[in-house]
Amino acid sequence: MTDARSLYRTWWRDRVDYRWLVDTLQSHSALRGFKIMLGAGGIVMLLIAVLAALAQSEVSGPLGWQGALEATVAGLWTLRWWLLPWPREVESLVWIVLFDLDTAANDLLARDRVIAVLGIVLLMAMGGYVTVFHGPRVLALHVAWSILVTVMLATLIALGYLPATGRGESHTHGRFQDLALGLDIILVMVVVVGVILPFVQLGHWIVRVDALSDPLTKLLNRRGLDSYLAARIGRSERRSAYVASLDLDRFKTINDTFGHPFGDEVLVRTAQRLRDTVESDALVARTGGEEFVVVGYLRDNPAALAEGLRAAIETTPDLPVTITASIGVAIIEASHADSEWTESSLRRLLHRADSAMYRAKGLGGNTFVITDSDGVEPLERKKPPTEIFDRELLVVRHQGLEPRTR
């Protein structure tokens, strides 16, 4: 139960990376097909507006003002998707709001209950778009709006009349039949929009998270790190940030001595130590075999941060050998955060952190090097224990025996 609650909380809090999703579709040459289909949806909306006006047969002018409004929105929608590049996230949200308001107005002001109920289907269709391209909070707002509009429409039907017609007439039917029809409409909307769409989005989110995660350590993989970093680009944080690149020392020796299952256990333990050491909003990723990256905001001086990471790995409990790491840390100062928190600057920051890590490895490992825009400053810490390089001693410790003295 706790794991399920944690899953749902994480899903609710996750800010879907709209830009990364669009870039992914573009990389697979799928974006053009999506644009064609979304634009075609506008043509369908236009036809619905015309046919609805003809079916109600009480219009002023060729379509009436409701039909004209619906047709205008549908036409703009089609032209936007077919002629312009894919919209940014803010514009996408604006179109969702405009669509929801326009659809609600036409449904509630319809002169025929059949036409009004059919219009509700358009809210379901927009829900599909929201499910794929936006997060659970946007979907929750769309679901709440859709159900509210449905309840209002069902109430009009249950009361036995529709909005005023051109002649001011009202339509009455059997109260029981009207009430049953109104409840049916609400139940259908709740099932489709309130249950199925969140279920689909949760499943889509789980698959996406799995694709962005390392299956062994459950950390982000390199693709996941790029995705979450991209989501932060352009935000005005005005906070000092860091990238720490870590590489386990002599990991091949550990694998050769104890075997790959033990090496996997070391990676899992290292991942847990890193998660427990850094702040909850920091990104922790396994980017290679024994390579890890941590990205976060500075809450202490860089040396204290790096020393905390180094010590956390060195003091990993319940292992027959001491594990150490070479660590490189690159910093963006708060005074430069606005100007440097861009895609290119983050790439440079990752590169500087890697360079600093290799310098730390060149110093013998179990140490860290900090770099910033002003240069590189090596800060050496404890050297690796001799026994970590001693294959015979490792084997003895692995067997639970006391190491021999020399």
Closest CA to 287 of 345, 217, 234: 217
**Structural contact between residues 329 and 243, judged by C-beta atoms closer than 8 angstroms:** yes
**Structural contact between residues 48 and 116, judged by C-beta atoms closer than 8 angstroms:** no
Q: How far apart are CA 329 and CA 357, in angstroms?
A: 7
Q: Specify the pLDDT at position 297.
A: 87
Q: Specify the pLDDT at position 248.
A: 95
Chain centroid to Cα 160, Å, comes to: 45
Copy the structure tokens of residue 6: 């944690």
DSSP 3-state of 243? strand
Copy the structure tokens of residue 19: 């830009």
Q: Specify the pLDDT at position 94.
A: 95
pLDDT tens for the chain, 406 residues long, are: 457 888 888 888 887 778 888 888 888 899 999 999 999 988 888 887 777 777 666 544 455 666 677 788 888 999 999 999 999 999 999 999 999 998 888 888 777 777 788 788 889 989 999 999 999 999 999 999 999 999 998 888 877 665 434 434 444 446 677 788 788 888 989 999 999 999 999 998 998 888 889 999 999 999 888 878 766 655 556 677 889 999 999 999 888 888 999 999 999 999 999 999 999 889 999 998 999 999 988 887 888 999 999 999 999 988 888 899 999 999 877 655 555 556 677 788 888 999 999 999 988 899 999 986 555 555 555 555 444 434 333 333 333 333 333 3
Q: Specify the pLDDT at position 90.
A: 92
Q: Specify the pLDDT at position 78.
A: 92
Opening angle at CA 340, ends 337 and 345, nearest 5: 135
Q: How far apart are CA 379 and CA 164, in angstroms?
A: 79
Q: Specify the pLDDT at position 337.
A: 52
Q: How far apart are CA 167 and CA 58, in angstroms?
A: 9
The structure tokens 């790491």 sit at 325
Burial bucket for residue 193 (CB in 10 Å: 0-12, 13-18, 19+): buried
- Reported pTM: 0.75
Q: How far apart are CA 362 and CA 385, in angstroms?
A: 16
Q: Specify the pLDDT at position 91.
A: 95
**Structural contact between residues 263 and 216, judged by C-beta atoms closer than 8 angstroms:** no
Side by side, the strands of the sheet bearing 241-248 are 283-286, 291-297, 241-248, 325-332, 368-372, 375-379
**Structural contact between residues 365 and 249, judged by C-beta atoms closer than 8 angstroms:** yes
Domains of the chain: 2-211 (no CATH), 222-398 (3.30.70.270)
**Structural contact between residues 145 and 130, judged by C-beta atoms closer than 8 angstroms:** no
Copy the structure tokens of residue 116: 């009004």
Q: How far apart are CA 220 and CA 226, in angstroms?
A: 9
- CA-based R_g, the chain, Å: 30
Can you say whether the dihedral through the CA atoms of 208, 209, 213, 217 is positive or negative?
negative
Cβ contacts of 312 within 8 Å, gap of 6 or more: 273, 274, 276, 277
CA dihedral 386, 391, 393, 395 (to 10 degrees): 140
**Structural contact between residues 125 and 193, judged by C-beta atoms closer than 8 angstroms:** no
